[in-house]
Structure 1
Amino acid sequence: MKFTLNGAEHSIEADGDMPLLWALRDVVGLTGTKFGCGVALCGACTVHVDGAPVRSCQTTVADVEGKSVTTIEGVAGSGEVGQAVVAAWRKLDVVQCGYCQSGQIMSAVGLLSENRKPTDDDIDAAMDGNVCRCATYQRIRAAIHDAAANLA
């Protein structure tokens, strides 16, 4: 299977039915994308495929053939939105345990790539389905607003 991964052409030997999550973690060795629930409900495994957030636990390797995949390892180098989100996460100390944060960041980048001035309702809708067991939701929302302000 061939696809672009974090800006570089990549080829892997894997069954087309393999979830992208396991290909990224076990075949490629990028462990920033996390396994949470395995049924696309928690958001821990969120990556971007052709710029759109998807749950990699339910996306197969065959689904991304010929497409562009961005993981948390590549998001800071993916442009000004990724850089603004990562900077805001650090500035506002969003992370508590950190397990869900790669998925949270990927969803936030997806939102701000489409909407540079999101309201609280926009943020809540875009982040719905990203679960944080530590309940850092207020800090996540504040960081998204901070990133948006730095993009203006």
Structure 2
Amino acid sequence: MQIILNGEVSPFPDAWAEEPLLFLLREHFGLTGTKYGCGAGFCGACTVILDGVPTRSCITPAADADGAEVRTIEGLAEGYRLHPVQAAWLELGVPQCGYCQSGQIMSAVALLETTPRPNAEDVESAMAGNLCRCGTYGRIRAAIARAAEAGA
């Protein structure tokens, strides 16, 4: 079995096939930016982009990613150059506790890749499944708008 993980072909043992993709990423590949939140796909902290679609990795079996392209928060920046969404997040001071932020960012990236100039309804719909305990929703929306203006 193998996935294309952040642009690189990455084989993984069949023993991981039935484990959640989240555990494969964190435990086998050591990519701990994707967080375990609720474990039931409700909070969005574990969101990754699977073949262009924001996906809850805590409820997605690793086997479902076999042969697929998976992008995690670790795969967004290019060297020291942040992805425009990450840059907007920092410029606007979005994170507080930060726990949900990788999932929020991955959902925002997926949105902007399919809808480069989203309206408020697009943003609301795309981000609806991502919960933030700190309530930074206003700054999240503003950062998405800024990243869209920057051509994310």
TM-score interval (norm. to shorter): over 0.9
| Structural mapping, 1:61-80, within 5 Å | 61-77=62-78
* Cα distance, 1:123 vs structure 2: 0.6
CA distance in 2, matches of 1:99, 1:15: 25
Deviation at 1:15, TM superposition (A): 2.9
Provide the secondary structure at the position in 1 that maps to 2:16: coil
Aligned partner of 2:27 in structure 1 is: 26
Q: Deviations over 1:42-87 (max 9, x none)?
A: 000000111111000011111011111000000224xx9x711011
Does residue 49 in structure 1 map to residue 56 in structure 2? Answer: no
Q: In 1, are the aligned partners of 2:116 and 2:148 still within 8 Å (CA)?
A: yes
Q: Is the 8 Å Cα contact of residues 16 and 24 (structure 2) preserved in structure 1?
A: no
Question: 1:6 maps to what in 2?
Answer: 6
Task: Please report the TM-score for the alignment, with normalisation by the length of structure 2.
Answer: 0.94
Give the CA deviation at 1:92. 0.6
Paired AA for residue 89 in structure 1 = W
- Letter of the 1:43 partner, please give it: G
**Structure 2 CA distance for aligned equivalents of residues 15 and 40 of structure 1:** 19
SS at match of 1:143: helix
- C-alpha distance in 2 between matches for 1:15 and 1:143: 36
Where do residues 1-152 of structure 1 align in structure 2 (5 Å cutoff)?
Answer: 1-13=1-13, 14-77=15-78, 83-151=83-151
* Unaligned ranges ≥5, structure 1: none
Q: What RMSD, in angstroms, separates the aligned Cα atoms of the two structures?
A: 1.5
Which structure 2 residue ranges, 5 or more long, are not aligned? none
CA contact (8 A) 2:46 2:56 kept: yes
- Structure 1 runs (4+) deviating above 3 angstroms are none
> What amino acid sits opposite 1:144 in the alignment?
I
Shift of 1:28: 0.9
* SS of alignment partner, residue 151 of structure 1: coil
